[in-house]
Amino acid sequence: MNFAKPLVAAAFALGLAATPAALQAELPQGVRAPDFSTQGALAGKPFAFHLRDALRRGPVVLYFYPKAFTQGCTLEAHAFAEATDDFRAAGATVIGMSNDDVPTLQRFSTEHCRDKFPVAQATPEIIRAYDVALVREGIPAGLASRTSYVIARDGRVRLVYSNMDYRDHVRLTLDAVKALARH
């Protein structure tokens, strides 16, 4: 009996795993991050984000997540909110990215990001540019995979971490940002 498919389905339901295709971000370290503008929310208010403008202030952590108000995404937002002061101390901007609409992001930014950092729309074009399309059983799910990028002020990708388990994203991105601050 093949237990792989039921185990993968159960892991998806818990937000803990994805198929290998969804776990592999193809945007490699060292490349220039695609520039983009999008809409989102900060502390419940509409927010416009432009990557180029954010990079003028320092490194940027883009963390893509599948869907606001789901268990893993809520826990990840809480973890980033708790670490916001550490990211700021290292000179970095954190922004969460999902394909949720702006009203949903407004609620999520207040209820789960705790008004600490913005969340923005990952449009289909942004998801494609960053190669973070969540794929289930070989079919794009219309969502972003759980993938974090650290982008240095020069616009180059310094860290790519893709894993549907939210737990290491904050630690790894914060470590990468601190390493950038030391150099």
pLDDT digits (tens, 9 = 90+) for 30-39: 999 999 999 9
Torsion over CA: 121, 122, 125, 129 (sign): positive
| Calculated CA dihedral for residues 9, 13, 17, 20, nearest 10 degrees | 40
Report the range of poorest mean pLDDT among 4-13, 34-43, 95-104, 149-158. 4-13
Q: What is the pLDDT of residue 113?
A: 87
- Split at pLDDT 50, 70, 90, the class of 138 is confident
> What is the C-alpha to C-alpha distance for residues 21 and 7, in angstroms, rounded to an integer?
17
**What residues does each domain of the chain span?**
4-182
The yes-or-no verdict on residue 110 having pLDDT over 50 is: yes
Angle between helices 71-82 and 169-182 (to 10 degrees): 30
**3-state DSSP helix/strand/coil percent for the chain, to nearest 5?**
40, 25, 35
DSSP label of 15: T
Q: Which fold has domain 4-182?
A: Glutaredoxin (3.40.30)
**pLDDT for position 15:** 42
Does 73 qualify as catalytic in the annotation? yes
- What is the rounded CA–CA span in Å between residue 171 and residue 63? 12
Percent of the chain exceeding pLDDT 70 equals: 86
pLDDT in tens, 55-104: 999 999 999 999 999 999 999 999 999 999 999 999 999 999 999 999 99
Instruction: Output Rg (C-alpha) for the chain, integer angstroms.
Output: 15
Of 82, 57, 39, 48, the residue nearest 169 (C-alpha): 82
Of 33, 51, 73, 159, catalytic: 73
Number of H helices, E strands in the chain: 8, 9
